[in-house]
Structure 1
Amino acid sequence: MNLYKVFTINPGSTSTKIAMFEGEKAVFSKNVSHDAVKLSEFKEISDQFDYRKEMILKELEEAGQTLEGVAAFSARGGGLVNIEGGVYEIGEKLLEHARIGYTVKHPATLGAQLADAFAGEYGGKAFVVNPPDVDEFTDVARVTGLKGIYRESRIHALNQKEIGIRFGKKRGKRYEDLNLIICHIGGGISVTAHEKGRMVDSNDIANGDGPMAPTRCGQLPVKDVIGMCFSGKYTEKEMRDKVTKTGGLVDHLHTSDARAVEEMMKKGDHYAKLIYDAMIYQIGKTAGAMAAVLHGKVDAVILTGGISYDPYVVGSLKEMLSFLAPIEEMAGEFEMEALAAGAIRVLEGKEAAKTYTGEPVWNGFPPA
């Protein structure tokens, strides 16, 4: 068995996660922290490229690691048009969209640029794997009650897909042959219906949808939100922040740390228990909706993400959802492992790398 050497790259707002794999085993990993003041000096995200690259190479040198002999550089990616899931070989169109942040301005867009640069210098292939831009929704899942406002896939695509693939392997089955409900429960919460290898419906973790989360508001009564917007009490930025940064547990309990909420509950804080139970309730409720999407044909409900380590959360969801299908616990996040595994599948010929064309898989419905 060829143990391919794969280097994975996952840039975040103030850090870049890197890891070296030999086969699917991580032999080195590091969360490279970046100085926030230094990052603020760069006008555009792509301007951070040289700085982040230098920091990565410095960390590798200090750890005695080398990029020589790396078979593939695999990155999270981002800023692309909506695409179907899979492993994409980095080409000029993908790089162009990553550099300008074609659809979103986020440091994740640096991943493809770094992977391509390292591959150019050291040899090997360069890939992005199931980036945040993956959108496999069915048309009917996109429609809302307002013409011109449509639902799009904004979920934890990388970890969601990896969990589905890993679960299939454990059961001796292909991910593409299973119907799964995967609940990623972390700083953001995505509850997704996987139908035969495609994420056909989910809640939108960025635009206010589905369960509330540690920092996110989740689904809200729209008329009341309109009232807040025009009350004069909040700026547009403050209202937008309530959706993804200061909503959820933060708004109710002034913390995004689920462990802190658990401590409040242990000390008899009844309001903390109410809010935490409500978050769990909303996760279960959304999972039930995804079961309907799958017409009740569900092979498993899988709990993943950091908060899935919490026995209270897991126990509560098992009580709510065990009538649907077996509940599987796969706590934590497997993003770096997913990046390596995707590259290895292509290198071994088990999956064909896709070409990014820059054409979205969905670009609105034709006029009525």
Structure 2
Amino acid sequence: MAEKQPWRVLVINPGSTSTKIGLFEGERSVFEKTVDHDAEELAQFAGISEQLPYRRATILAALAENGVDLSSVDAFVGRGGGLLPLQGGTYEIGDVLLDHARRGANGVQHPAQLGSQLAHEFASEAGGKPSFVVNPPDTDELCDEARMTGIDGVYRHVHLHALNLKETAIRHAASMGKRYDECNFVVCHIGGGISISAHSHGHMIDGNDIVGGEGPMTPTRCGSLPVTEVLDYLEAGHSVQDVRALALKHGGFVSLCDTSDARAVTAAAASGDASAQRAWDAMSYQICKWIGAMACVLSGEVDGILLGGGIVHDKGLVKTIEQRCSWIAPVAAYPGEFELEAMAAGARRVLDGEEEARTYTGEPAWNGFSC
């Protein structure tokens, strides 16, 4: 087998108050940095895309400080955002993708929209180098059964940590001497948000909708709720906005323990705080419950249960999941995340000819049933 070329790939992952950047040469990380952005500076911009010149300047300054010349880079990758539902994979950044990213075609305003815009600008400045997005947040590979609900005209959608979920699965498959598309996995990302997904032969066919309020409770999200209890909550005087906030940022540990810090909850539980212990146990229980559901989606044919995300650093949580779920399949922990590495790896697969770059057409991966 021919030796792979050590492509130099610059990756850009914008967040709410910072942008993570990394330069990879082959699989080796040459340079990684988190560029912080002043909240007051960001507040002056009317929308996400208006932040582009400011973020671009701060990133270029950080690259210059570390001796990174754009002309030395072979490809640029930005975090996808603002796109309509699409199949997983590596996408070339073209006009339609850029238009959707700029305006947030999916209706969600998030800094991830800037990733593709920044990558495209830097690639153009470097002489027209390739630019990509890899497994964007709106990756949608659901099977038909997963889309259905019991209400006519109401369907399930999917918002998951697709980039990290798929990269974790790809890496674990390789550790088994197999390809991702040869395996079935239940893959979890356990952090401020929690994604639990079923991967069947290279496709993420089911999972909880973290934006839609599904799944286990998390440090900041309430998770799945009984509909009638929500109606009672509304009738008691709470607003739709209140419920939406509980689903996205004020639920879970924030509501139950007045903190979003999982470490603070475990510390409080260890010191004898019964309410903190109950909240932690409930989250752990619900994670295991959803893992079981995803195993059933795969008909019990599971090659591994894979755990990623920051809270996986908690060995007690990993042990709990092993105790409840290892009868299904072996449990493997990958604490933290592989987002920068995943973005670079997606570009390398295309540059090496292992994977064909996809074209974003703007047509959603699913747009209703034909009959």
Equivalent residue of 1:6, what SS?
A: strand
CA–CA distance in structure 2, aligned partners of residues 136 and 114 of structure 1 = 27
Equivalent residue of 1:107, what SS?
A: coil
Matched with 2:144 is 139
Does residue 66 of the first structure (1) align with residue 101 of the second (2)?
no
Matched with 1:2 is 5
Question: How many percent of aligned residue pairs carry the same amino acid?
Answer: 53
After superposition, residues 202-221 of structure 1 pair within 5 angstroms as 202-221=207-226
Which portions of structure 1, spanning 4 or more consecutive aligned residues, are displaced by more than 4 angstroms?
none
Does residue 237 of the first structure (1) align with residue 241 of the second (2)?
yes
Matched with 2:23 is 20
How far 1:281 moved relative to its partner? 0.4
After superposition, give the CA deviation of every residue in 1:14-58 in whole Å (9 maximum; x if it has no partner). Answer: 111111111121111111111111111111211111011001001
Equivalent residue of 1:94, what SS?
A: helix
Matched length: 366
Matched with 1:347 is 351
How far 1:118 moved relative to its partner? 0.5
Does residue 29 of the first structure (1) align with residue 32 of the second (2)?
yes
8 Å contact from structure 2 (residues 70, 125) kept in 1: no
Question: Which amino acid is the alignment partner of residue 180 of structure 1?
Answer: F
8 Å contact from structure 2 (residues 16, 111) kept in 1: yes
Matched with 2:178 is 173
CA–CA distance in structure 2, aligned partners of residues 219 and 105 of structure 1 = 23
CA–CA distance in structure 1, aligned partners of residues 248 and 188 of structure 2 = 18
Matched with 2:274 is 270
Matched with 1:283 is 287
2:187 to 182, 185, 195: 182
Matched with 2:80 is 77
CA–CA distance in structure 2, aligned partners of residues 72 and 230 of structure 1 = 54
CA–CA distance in structure 2, aligned partners of residues 150 and 173 of structure 1 = 34
1:161 to 153, 160, 166: 166
Unaligned runs of 5+ in 1: none
Does residue 223 of the first structure (1) align with residue 241 of the second (2)?
no
After superposition, give the CA deviation of every residue in 1:49-81 in whole Å (9 maximum; x if it has no partner). Answer: 101100100111122222221111011111111
Matched with 1:88 is 91
How far 1:229 moved relative to its partner? 2.1
CA–CA distance in structure 2, aligned partners of residues 61 and 237 of structure 1 = 44
8 Å contact from structure 2 (residues 123, 131) kept in 1: yes
Equivalent residue of 1:19, what SS?
A: strand
Unaligned runs of 5+ in 2: none
CA–CA distance in structure 2, aligned partners of residues 227 and 35 of structure 1 = 41
How far 1:235 moved relative to its partner? 3.5
After superposition, give the CA deviation of every residue in 1:105-125 in whole Å (9 maximum; x if it has no partner). Answer: 111111111110101010321
How far 1:365 moved relative to its partner? 2.4
Question: Which amino acid is the alignment partner of residue 216 of structure 2?
Answer: P
How far 1:269 moved relative to its partner? 1.2
CA–CA distance in structure 2, aligned partners of residues 45 and 261 of structure 1 = 33
Does residue 39 of the first structure (1) align with residue 42 of the second (2)?
yes
CA–CA distance in structure 2, aligned partners of residues 93 and 176 of structure 1 = 29
8 Å contact from structure 2 (residues 220, 251) kept in 1: yes
CA–CA distance in structure 2, aligned partners of residues 164 and 221 of structure 1 = 32
CA–CA distance in structure 2, aligned partners of residues 63 and 142 of structure 1 = 47
How far 1:176 moved relative to its partner? 0.3
Matched with 1:316 is 320
CA–CA distance in structure 2, aligned partners of residues 239 and 143 of structure 1 = 23
Matched with 2:336 is 332
After superposition, give the CA deviation of every residue in 1:231-285 in whole Å (9 maximum; x if it has no partner). Answer: 22x3433221111101001110111111111111221112211110110000000
**Root mean square deviation of aligned Cα:** 1.0
Does residue 306 of the first structure (1) align with residue 278 of the second (2)?
no
Equivalent residue of 1:152, what SS?
A: coil
How far 1:327 moved relative to its partner? 0.8
How far 1:309 moved relative to its partner? 1.1
Does residue 195 of the first structure (1) align with residue 192 of the second (2)?
no
After superposition, give the CA deviation of every residue in 1:114-146 in whole Å (9 maximum; x if it has no partner). Answer: 110101010321000000010000011011111
- Give the TM-score normalised by the residue count of structure 1: 0.97
CA–CA distance in structure 1, aligned partners of residues 344 and 27 of structure 2 = 6
CA–CA distance in structure 2, aligned partners of residues 45 and 230 of structure 1 = 35
Matched with 2:363 is 359
Compare 29-38 and 150-159 and name the one that shifted more: 29-38
Matched with 2:119 is 115
Matched with 1:293 is 297
Question: Which amino acid is the alignment partner of residue 292 of structure 1?
Answer: C
Equivalent residue of 1:303, what SS?
A: strand
2:59 to 56, 62, 68: 56
